[in-house]
Amino acid sequence: MKGKEVKDSSALTGRRMSRSFVACALIFATTACGFFSGTGGSPHVTEDRLVGRWAGDCGAVVEVKADRTFTAKDFPVDFDGVGTKPQLVTGSGEWRLARAIENVRPLELVLQLKGRSYDIPVRGDEDDLVLRWQVGDPDYAHSCDFTADPA
């Protein structure tokens, strides 16, 4: 009798494990979709919409021009972590818009500056865009959100 109880108990445990596995898989699938799309997702934006002056909450300014060039002042390019200041650069270069690939990459403004490429995700909606830039270790990153500056 005890042998049968153990067998039933192990079958029950197997079913519970299967249900737990399915539940975990569903939770992962739904959170992964949220992770890739992100809050505010990638808006549908034309290149013309990015032309203008963008002011960062970190003090940086990027002027995007219609001829596919830009100038940047105090743009953060490197960050060593907590207790340090980001490395800032000022200069000019060329830009392009990298289209979003669903669940892989957001829409990005790509800046070519001093021999390096900086891919800045474009967030928000068409009427309220944010260029969300981060440098450094993802756990201790230096963030800078750029918004259109009418000045």
Task: Give the per-residue pLDDT at 20.
Answer: 54
Domain match, 113 and 132 both: yes
Task: Give the per-residue pLDDT at 34.
Answer: 41
CATH of residue 58's domain is 2.40.128
Domain match, 69 and 88 both: yes
User: Which runs of E-coded beta strand occur in the chain?
Assistant: 52-56, 61-64, 69-78, 87-98, 108-113, 116-125, 128-135, 142-148
The answer to whether position 89 is within a domain reads yes
The answer to whether position 123 is within a domain reads yes
Domain match, 30 and 97 both: no
| Short-list 80, 73, 37, 24, CA closest to 53 | 73
Task: Give the per-residue pLDDT at 91.
Answer: 97
The answer to whether position 72 is within a domain reads yes
Domain match, 67 and 103 both: yes
Task: Give the per-residue pLDDT at 24.
Answer: 44
Task: Give the per-residue pLDDT at 2.
Answer: 53
pTM over 0.95? The answer is: no
The whole domain housing 114 covers: 47-148
> Residue 110: beta bridge partners?
96, 119
**Number of domains composing the chain:** 2
The answer to whether position 42 is within a domain reads no
Segments in the chain below pLDDT 50:
6, 22, 24-40
Domain match, 97 and 54 both: yes
Task: Give the per-residue pLDDT at 3.
Answer: 54
**Structure tokens, 138:** 């993802």
Task: Give the per-residue pLDDT at 111.
Answer: 97
Contact 109, 100 (CB under 8 A): no
Domain match, 52 and 33 both: no
Task: Give the per-residue pLDDT at 26.
Answer: 43
